[in-house]
Amino acid sequence: MELLKVENLSKVYGMGDSQVNALSDVSFSMNKGEFASVVGQSGSGKSTLLHCIGGLDTPTRGKVFLDGEDLFALDEKKRTIFRRRNIGFVFQAFHLIDELNVEQNIAFPLLLDHQKPDQKKIDGLLEMLGLTERRNHLPDQLSGGQKQRVAIGRALIMQPVLILADEPTGNLDSKSSRDVMDLLIHASRHYQQTILMITHNDNLASDTDRILRVTDGCLKDMGGKAHETLS
């Protein structure tokens, strides 16, 4: 089932001689439960693509449909609510709230949306993330890998239709990177979670269902088995 559809997405910064075409007529789609990676050199347009898909930035042209909803046909207030309820974000920087413990950080999006946290759901997430024993710890009592696991839990708690991950292992050592990647794969398989991940790590990209390569704002769908497209 098609979940995400991107049509002729373009983003232009500046004007005249200083104009930069960050994205040029990018089109692709993703099915529910698919885990795709976006690769490309620094400055190629990867993060701009993710920010436009997530409604954090507005494209110059083009459309983004998520679960049938035209994201940029919504006014800013409705788009903010739609994004909060339907898109989970995982960034290279963890963006945890220092004064909240692990459990509270994970539950925070529910509170923003005026929902009462489901304790069983939180307990299940903590177990899946390997953080049950750390539930009452503050962020400064956690390792980098543990902080990123909290960020993943926070992204999953709203049961979003799409997770956008921007270099989620960029600040982690190789073991923590592997652990985080395994968690994302588990979320994709266990929850049928659709995930679009930016990474500079070809080894991690090779574990995803599909690779999208961005070069100078243009996208090429590498398709197929990821390990074959990188060889």
Spans of the chain, pLDDT less than 70: 224-231
At 227 the pLDDT is 40
Inter-helix orientation angle 144-156/174-190, to 10°: 20
Q: Which domains does the chain have, with CATH numbers?
A: 32-48+86-229 (3.40.50.300)
